[in-house]
Amino acid sequence: MGKRQRLDKILSHAGFGSRREVKILLRARRVLVNGEVVTSGERGIDLEQDLVLVDGQPVQYREFIYLMLNKPAGYVTATKDRYAPTVLDLIPEEWRVRRLAPVGRLDKDTEGLLLLTNDGALAHHLLAPASRIPKTYLVRVDKPVTPEELKTLVDGVVLDDGYRTLPAQATLVNGLNLELELTLYEGKFHQVKRMLRAVGKQVTYLQRRSMGPLALDPGLALGACRELTIDEIRRLKATDQRNAPRGV
Ligand code: URA
C-alpha cells in the first residue's frame, strides 16, 4: 500500500498550482476521487489505490521534483538550522516534498544557482568527485588579480591545508581585474574563497552561475525558484554516463 497524502498537496505536486489555486479547482467541482466529486483538499489519498481525475484526466504520481533556486545571501544551505533561515524556507509549500534537499552547498553569503531535488541518485552523481561536474562562479575580490595570479588559479594553487587544487578555468571579466569567472571541477569546502586567499585576495562577492549543463536563469529573481524544464533535467541526467544511450 502507498502513502496517504492530502488531496490538495497531491494536486499541487502534480502541477495544478498553489494550494490556493487547488482550492479554487476543488470548489469548482472539477475533481473526482473514485468517481465522487470531492471539494475538500484535506481528504487523504493513496494514489496507488485511489483514482483521482481532474476534468476527467487521471492525476499521475510524480516521484521526483527538480528545482532551481536563485539563492540570496543570508540563507544557509541546509534543510534545518537552529539560528538562520535555510534555503528550504524559500521553497513554496507545494514543492516541499519529502527528502527534498540541496545538491551541494553554497556558503551563507554566496548567491546564485542552487539545485534542489529529491532524486537521490542524480544528486549523488552530481556530487561525486569522480563525476568532475564543472561549476562556474562569478567572483569579486578586494584587490586586482594579476595575470600571474590568474595563471596560478588555473594551474592549481596550494590551499591552507596543503591540498593542491585541480586545473581550473579563470577569466577576468572587467578591466579593473577585480572580477573573474572561475570554473572548478571539484568542490572542496569554501574552495573559491580559499583559492583566492592563496593568491592574497579576499572575496567580496560570490555567485554561482552554472553547474554542469545547468545555467542560472537570468529571469529568476533573487530568492525565487522554479522547476527545471524537461530539457534541463535531461541534460543533467546525461552527464551520468550510466544514463547514456546504449548501442552504436
Ligand atoms: N566556494 C566557496 O568558497 N563558497 C561557496 O559558497 C561555493 C564555492
Say if 191 falls within a structural domain. yes
Domain count for the chain: 3
Kindly state whether residues 37 and 155 are assigned to the same domain.
Answer: no
Task: List, for residues 122-161, the tens digit of each pLDDT value.
Answer: 999 999 999 999 999 999 999 999 999 999 999 999 999 9
pLDDT in tens, 51-61: 999 999 999 87
CA-angle at 16, arms to 53 and 126, nearest 5°: 115
Task: From 11, 64, 63, select the one nearest 233 (Cα to Cα).
Answer: 64
Ligand 1 proximity of 188 Cβ (cutoff 6 Å): no
- Cβ–ligand 1 contact at 206 (below 6 Å): yes
Model confidence over 158-211: pLDDT tens digits?
999 999 999 999 999 988 999 999 999 999 999 999 999 999 999 999 999 999
CA angle 29, 33, 39 (to 5 degrees): 35
Is the same domain home to 232 and 172?
no
List the CATH number of the domain containing 185: 3.30.70.1560
Average pLDDT over residues 26-31: 97
Residue 202 shares a structural domain with residue 88: no
Q: Residue 248 has what pLDDT?
A: 43
> Is 207 close to ligand 1, i.e. is its CB under 6 Å away?
no
**Position 82 in a domain:** yes
* Residue 205 in domain: yes
155 and 122 fall within a common domain:
no
The boundaries of the domain holding residue 189 are 134-211
- Asked whether the predicted pLDDT for residue 3 surpasses 50, the reply is yes
Mean model confidence pLDDT for the chain: 93
Residue 244 lies in a domain: no
Question: Tell me: the pLDDT tens digits for 85-114?
Answer: 999 999 988 788 778 999 999 999 999 999
Q: Poorest-confidence range of 14-28, 99-113, 133-147, 225-239?
A: 14-28
Q: Are residues 119 and 222 in the same domain?
A: yes
Residues 31 and 77 reside in one and the same domain: no
Strand order through the sheet with 36-37 = 36-37, 31-33, 52-54, 57-58
Residue 245 has pLDDT above 60, yes or no: no
- Over residues 7-23, the mean pLDDT reads 88
Torsions phi, psi of 179, nearest 5? Answer: -135, 130
Task: Give me the pLDDT at residue 214, please.
Answer: 98
197 and 156 co-located in one domain:
yes
Burial of 205 (0-12, 13-18, 19+ CB in 10 A): middle
Looking at the structure, do residues 191 and 153 belong to the same domain, yes or no? yes
Residue 89 lies in a domain: yes
Distance from Cα 199 to the centre of ligand 1, integer Å: 16
Pocket test for ligand 1, best of 103, 111, 114, 137 (most atoms within 8 A of CB): 137
CATH code for the domain in which residue 105 is found = 3.30.70.580
- The reported pLDDT for the residue numbered 86 is 97
Q: Which residues are catalytic?
A: 107
